Amino acid sequence: MNRITARFARLKQDAQKALVVYIGAGDPHLEATRQLALAFDRAGVDILELGVPFSDPLADGLVNQLAAQRGLESGTTPPKLLATIAAIRRESEIPIVLYVYFNLLHRCGVKKFIADAANAGVDGLLVLDLPPEEADTYEQLMRNAGLCAIWLVAPTTPDERIATIVQRGTGFIYYISREGVTGMQTSVAGNLAERVALIRQHTALPIAVGFGISNPEQARQVASAADGAVVGSAVVNQIAQLGKSPHLVPRLEAFVKSLADGVKGR
């Protein structure tokens, strides 16, 4: 069974919610990415999202744009990232999703990218700028490789399109709780529970909510309405502040543990 599917099944059995954490791969360098992945596993992170550095990350706010830039400057490429994931797999079974723009798949070759990702130990892809209506070949390749194809639903997505999107998803549905790009916010969207309930009318897949969650209390609020909370910019921002400090990994491990405790009601 795919690690993402298995993790959500276990969480459901235990009446628990998921913490999904996003970081930019190669920020500040790939060895830090490897160490952070292992630290996050220890801290209680259920799924790790790794942003593949890209020169034009249109869905991302400034914090994650700068992380992508630092990843590019550190020399992170898709093959080097996959080698790092293979190294993580020698020590951890934490489910891993690549947050990626389609241009990179196209440049590498979609079939090759998916096969190489599966061989390295990736569990799913979230391709930000690939419309589901144009994804038949991609989805077939993903099924053949045993990877989850994760799709986004936005606050502005019409009801009929929600049904179309979620029927194609595997692993979980990622609900973007706010309009615009990624980034930290001071509060959780007021209509969150209503929107999650609407999505649930169309799918039995778990629903994870992201964009704007920045502290344990917000993570707890989101998890109470959904099956998981996704935290990205708040973590990436700390990586930016700490840089290559020797305290980077322990400080981030402590922070994400506080998020995990919030999500799981500890």
What CATH number does residue 199 fall under?
Answer: 3.20.20.70
Give the pLDDT of residue 212: 79
Each residue of 32-63: b (16+ CB within 10 Å) or e? bbbbbbbbbbebbbbbbbbbbbbeebebbbeb
> Residue for token digits 């700068």?
66
Question: How far is residue 252's CA from residue 242's CA, in Å, rounded to a whole number?
Answer: 9
171 has pLDDT over 90:
yes
Cβ neighbors of 218 (< 8 A, separation 6 or more) are 185, 187, 188, 212, 229, 262
pLDDT for 135 beyond 90: yes
Question: According to the model, what pLDDT value does residue 180 have?
Answer: 45
Catalytic (active-site) positions: 49, 60
| Residues forming beta bridges with residue 262, ordered by sequence position | none
What is the domain count for the chain? 1
User: What are 20's two structure tokens?
Assistant: 């999904």
Radius of gyration of the chain (CA): 17
Q: State the average pLDDT over residues 99-105.
A: 96
- Region 182-206 average pLDDT: 78
The predicted model scores a pTM of 0.95
pLDDT band at 189 (very low <50, low <70, confident <90, very high): low
pLDDT, mean of residues 17-35? 98
Q: State residue 266's pLDDT score.
A: 79
What domain range includes position 234?
A: 3-263
Mean pLDDT value of segment 186-196:
74
Interacting residues of 112 by C-beta distance below 8 A, sequence separation 6+: none
Q: Checking DSSP bridges between strand 124-127 and strand 96-100, what pairing results, if any?
A: parallel
